Structure 1
């Protein structure tokens, strides 16, 4: 499942679903949570189910409401019969939240052995969730990836903001971002960076994406179709990166059993080979 870009679209705006699907995003996330007012939840569920029942040009995930909302069961009952490609779970708190969602999905299907679609938890939206990130490796087979949020967490602890004036994260939220990155890789699933809220600053977005890809994230959430091309480009290895990765792989193939080699005047070893193989796997 290629997940460079995942574009949110409000569930109560079905006229936007096709446009979102045509944006070039690897997946769209039809949102039943924050972008939908309480009195429009039923409308959003019905519109989402109708869209899922038709042809889908891209992967379609659905963000359900969180566990404490008392809305998740009805969300799942509306969309699971149409087999979405994944479920986004907000305010997830580690493995126990994933197991709870799988149990809810089984109850909706009236099948104790029923399986939920792959789950993408937003894994840092409560203070406790930060301490539960490591447990996600216990439920790795049921994950599509791991992402994080930089808005709900500061609100939960009474912080004024999660960002510095230049747009970078303050220390507590940089920590949450880093822990999410490591939790995803520990589970062996996609590491999905959070949204970039300034949709009018393409240069700043490019810088954000470049930093995320540099740090080890493999994709990113988007909130506007205009962000998708920049995100896709940033998470697609360049020709220079691919050429170097192939050179590393070829060097080890030509020297079986070697632990350390020299390439272009630099020493390379097993971690360089692993990184090269990871880059090639992305294309």
Structure 2
């Protein structure tokens, strides 16, 4: 499952779903949480269930962002959306791995009742939206069998800690959010799951999005959340290896394959060791090649 671009789609808007499914995102996140007004929650559940029924005709994988556990709505959301066509659940405002275990226990019987393979429904977590969560990022290691990725969020965390802003004048994150971003990245690496960067709020700022995506990929993120279809192409391009990167990765992998006992090799006048090999293997995997 590719988690390079993940586009939010409000669960109560046929129009936005129709536009989103054509955007080229790897994942559509059908949202039952913040994008849906309380009065529309029940209708959105039914609408999302109907969209899941058409999953065979949609190229993207379909995830659903359910309402968080403390709302009391999570079980009701899952009861409607755990059905064939559902690839995964996005869990917001998680306080740690114990929340994931709770939700996974809810999914198990629903998955069986729907005739789905055990473990078919994966889980991705917004891992930094509460103060408690910041002290529990290490709990995702070892990962739950359903866990495939961690992402982070700034808006709910800011509200929880009483921040008045989360960006500097130059657009960079302030210190608490840089900290949250970094810990999410480390937690995902520790658990061996995919790190996905948070959304870029100004969907009209294509240049800013591109620069920020390139920084995120440089740091180790392998995908990004989109809040508008127009962001998807930029995200896909920025998080895909270039032809030059792929060619260099092949060269490194081939050199080590030809010298299996070597820990360090010289290639084109530069020294490469095992961390370089691992990075090259990840580059080829991102390009859909088997190293």
Bin of the TM-score, shorter chain as denominator length: over 0.9
Q: Is the CA contact (8 Å cut-off) linking 2:62 and 2:85 kept in structure 1? A: no
SS at match of 2:241: coil
1:161 equivalent to 2:165? Answer yes
- Check 1:214–1:62 CA distance in 2 against 1; reply closer, same or farther (3 A cut): same
Distance 1:174 1:261 in 2: 36
Instruction: Report the alpha carbon displacement of residue 253 of structure 1 after superposing the two structures with TM.
Output: 2.2
**CA deviation profile, 1:190-222 (whole Å, cap 9, x unmatched):** 110000001111110000100010000010000
Aligned pair count reads 282
Superposition TM-score, scaled by structure 2 size: 0.93
Structural mapping, 1:128-143, within 5 Å: 128-143=132-147
- Tell me how large the CA RMSD over aligned residues is: 1.6
Other-structure match for 2:51 = 51
1:229 matched to 2:228? The reply is no
TM-score, normalised via structure 1 length: 0.95
Q: Which of the residues 68, 71, 81 maps onto 1:69?
A: 71
Please state if 1:201 is matched with 2:197. no
Q: 1:107 Cα shift?
A: 5.4
The change in CA–CA distance for 1:19 and 1:157 in structure 2 (over 3 A counts) is same
Contact map agreement 2:87 2:120 (CA 8 A) in 1: no
Task: Give CA deviations for 1:59-90 in whole Å, capped at 9, x if unaligned.
Answer: 01000000001111111111113441000000
Structure 2 residue aligned with 1:177:
181
Partner deviation per Cα, 1:210-255 (whole Å, 9 max, x = no partner) = 0010000010000000000000000000011111111111221232
Q: Pick closer, same or farther for the CA change 1:129–1:261 going to 2, 3 Å.
A: same
Corresponding residue SS for 2:75: helix
| 1:93 and 2:95 are equivalent in the alignment | yes
TM superposition shift of 1:109: 5.8
Give 2:82's aligned residue: 80
Aligned to 1:271: 275
Residues 1:260 and 2:264 aligned together: yes
CA contact (8 A) 1:94 1:136 kept: yes
Q: Distance in 1 between matches of 2:96 and 2:39?
A: 30
* Structure 2 unaligned regions, length at least 5: none
Q: Which residue of 2 aligns with 1:192?
A: 196
Deviations 1:90-122 (A, max 9, x none): 0012210100101222355687x9657100110
Cα 1:139/1:260, change in 2 over 3 Å: closer
Report the 3-state secondary structure (helix = DSSP H, G, I; strand = E; otherwise coil) of the residue aligned with 1:60: strand
Structure 1: how far apart are the matches of 2:29 and 2:126?
A: 13
- Separation in 2, partners of 1:212, 1:110: 38
Native 8 Å contact 1:121 1:146 kept in 2 = yes
The change in CA–CA distance for 1:109 and 1:262 in structure 2 (over 3 A counts) is: closer
SS at match of 2:135: helix
Is the 8 Å Cα contact of residues 98 and 139 (structure 1) preserved in structure 2?
Answer: no
How big is each residue's C-alpha offset from its partner over 1:104-146, in whole Å with a ceiling of 9 and x where there is no partner?
22355687x9657100110000001011111112334211211
1:237-274 CA distance string (max 9 Å, x none): 00111111111112212323111111222211110011
